[in-house]
Amino acid sequence: ALMATSREEEPQIVVPVADVLISYPGGSAEEVEKLVPSRLERMLYQIDGVEYVYSMSQPGQAVVTVRFFVGQDREESLIKLYNKIFQNLDRTTPGIAGWIVKPVEIDDVPIVSAALFSDRYSTHELYRIAEEVAVKLQNIENSADISIHGGEKRAVRVYLDAERLAAYQLSPLELMAALKMSNAQMQSGSFEQNNATVLVEAGPFLADAREVMNLIIGIHENKPVYLRDVATIVDGPDEVSTLTRLGFGPAGLRERNLEPGTESTFPAVTIAVAKKKGSNAVCVSREVEERLDELRGSVIPDDVEVRITRNYGETANDKVNELVKGLTEAIITVIVLIAVVMNWRVGLIVALAVPITYALTLLVNLMAGYTINRVTLFALILALGLLVDDPIVAVENIYRHLTMRKKRPIDAISDAMNEVMPPIVLSTLTVMVAFLPMFFITGMMGP
């Protein structure tokens, strides 16, 4: 059970959170704040179980974050949120283009981040490499969202020439409509042949700058007008939206055989991998590292370096192993101490009672779908002192009755247990009652 149970650094705590993304084209940040979030916040506060609501307004859009109380059922909370929004669509501000409700989970946080950097390739080329790597990483079992940060995406830019547009009697809106209609794929019909139905599709999507240049956008003097006649088309990197740089300290410079004072930061593109809920962070992180090693030399060129900048699976495994080591040392210490101070029989009973109890506890933990983390392991260490009390009292009383030699061994053992059973049960219940107030702790500390 200890090896099979999923390992995480922190326990799974249910805190339902969702972002409501609202589009309000043409509005300034001040207008958006007055017309959209302020009304929506008052409406969302009416939902049962909501702890707080806050918003962020930008030109043309707003984000309203709704957080429910800790322990609320996630699916039920999201249903309440959806129902509240769609029940009040007729009361929303005119001009809102659309709503998107995006749930937020703790598992959305990436557990592994890998930075790609190179002295030879630009950040645009690194982004193209990262896209191919991300496709390969999606095949990893229990991997969830894979995101790319930094670098520039590929974009085909169309720079219009106003004089040419006027000469051909075309407007930018006509060009935009032609681009939208051409960059689409749809079914145009079908026909029967050899007992099979053949589907006919119109398309496909525009693939490169050459196809965009050869796009027919109109007719002038009975001749087709191509997009290249009225615009300049450039296939290259998109505008920079995020920047990512990887820096090295003195140890990193020595590892790369660089002199102190050398440029120690490099433009980079980061691939972040999140895991599915309830999966083993250690296994997922290991598979990601193994897959990255397999892709070196093929998808990832030899002159592109890959550095793991975040590995929560490794840190979780190290912390769990450290606590397991401490738990094992504590069990051995207690057994040896009892065997020396009392006698070897008592030590033997404790040596059997503690592992059996912990084995059953970990088995139930595995069957219930919980994870092993530093909180659960610390609870096991805390319970060790309470666990050895009952067998010590029972064995010591049995040993006392046996040394009296007044009854048969089986009767002596039965009488000894009957003597101490009520106080043992009461002492155990007393300890349980002492921890009962913890069930009434609210907020994040409760779970």
Report the C-alpha gap between 421 and 176 in whole angstroms: 85
Which residues on neighbouring strands pair with residue 271, listed in sequence order? 114, 148
pLDDT digits (tens, 9 = 90+) for 64-117: 999 998 878 888 998 999 888 888 877 777 778 778 888 888 777 888 999 998
Query: Has residue 300 got a pLDDT over 80?
Result: yes
Asked if 64 contacts 40 with a C-beta cutoff of 8 angstroms, the reply is: yes
How many residues are given for the chain?
A: 447
Asked if 350 contacts 340 with a C-beta cutoff of 8 angstroms, the reply is: no
Query: In the predicted model, what is the mean pLDDT of residues 178-190?
Result: 78
Query: Has residue 217 got a pLDDT over 80?
Result: yes
pLDDT at residue 262, as a whole number: 66
Orientation of helix 409-435 relative to helix 374-404, angle to 10°: 150
pLDDT at residue 142, as a whole number: 84
Cα separation values, 441 from 86, 378, 444, Å? 35, 19, 9
pLDDT at residue 393, as a whole number: 83
Which position has the higher pLDDT, 123 or 207? 123
Structure tokens at 175: 């060009």
Query: Has residue 10 got a pLDDT over 80?
Result: no
Asked if 19 contacts 76 with a C-beta cutoff of 8 angstroms, the reply is: no
pLDDT at residue 302, as a whole number: 87
Q: CA nearest 435: which of 383, 369, 391, 385? A: 383
Structure tokens at 254: 């020595």
Residue-wise DSSP of 294-331: HHBTTTB-TTSEEEEEEEHHHHHHHHHHHHHHHHHHHH
pLDDT at residue 113, as a whole number: 92
Report the C-alpha gap between 256 and 305 in whole angstroms: 11
Among positive and negative, which fits the CA dihedral 162, 168, 171, 173?
negative
Q: Is 65 helix (H, G, I), strand (E, B) or coil?
A: strand
Q: Which domains does the chain show, CATH number per domain?
A: 17-104 (3.30.70.1430), 112-153+240-314 (3.30.70.1320), 155-237 (3.30.2090.10), 342-440 (no CATH)
pLDDT at residue 95, as a whole number: 78
Report the C-alpha gap between 427 and 333 in whole angstroms: 24
Q: Which of 30-44, 110-124, 377-391 has the lowest mean pLDDT?
A: 377-391
Query: In the predicted model, what is the mean pLDDT of residues 189-217?
Result: 80
pLDDT at residue 243, as a whole number: 83
pLDDT at residue 273, as a whole number: 92
Q: Return the percentage of the chain with pLDDT > 90, whole number.
A: 6
Q: Is 145 helix (H, G, I), strand (E, B) or coil?
A: strand
Report the C-alpha gap between 401 and 395 in whole angstroms: 10
Report the C-alpha gap between 44 and 65 in whole angstroms: 10
Query: In the predicted model, what is the mean pLDDT of residues 208-237?
Result: 85
Structure tokens at 265: 């930061």
pLDDT at residue 272, as a whole number: 92
Query: In the predicted model, what is the mean pLDDT of residues 14-23?
Result: 87
pTM higher than 0.85 = no
User: What SS3 string covers 154-217?
Assistant: EEEEEEECHHHHHHCCCCHHHHHHHHHHHCCCEEEEEEEECCEEEEEEECCCCCCHHHHHCCEE
pLDDT at residue 111, as a whole number: 87
Report the C-alpha gap between 97 and 330 in whole angstroms: 62
The DSSP symbol for 436 reads: G
Task: Kindly report the average pLDDT of the chain as a whole number.
Answer: 83
Asked if 208 contacts 217 with a C-beta cutoff of 8 angstroms, the reply is: no
Which residues on neighbouring strands pair with residue 102, listed in sequence order? 19
Query: In the predicted model, what is the mean pLDDT of residues 336-353?
Result: 77
pLDDT digits (tens, 9 = 90+) for 412-438: 888 888 998 998 888 888 888 888 888
Query: Has residue 263 got a pLDDT over 70?
Result: no
Query: In the predicted model, what is the mean pLDDT of residues 131-147?
Result: 88
Query: Has residue 312 got a pLDDT over 70?
Result: yes
pLDDT at residue 271, as a whole number: 92
Query: In the predicted model, what is the mean pLDDT of residues 212-237?
Result: 85
Cα separation values, 30 from 24, 79, 441, Å? 12, 30, 40
Asked if 252 contacts 164 with a C-beta cutoff of 8 angstroms, the reply is: no
Cα separation values, 273 from 27, 132, 136, 143, 146, Å? 35, 14, 12, 7, 5
Q: How many CB atoms lie within 10 A of CB 25?
A: 11
Most confident residue range from 10-14, 45-49, 319-323, 324-328: 45-49
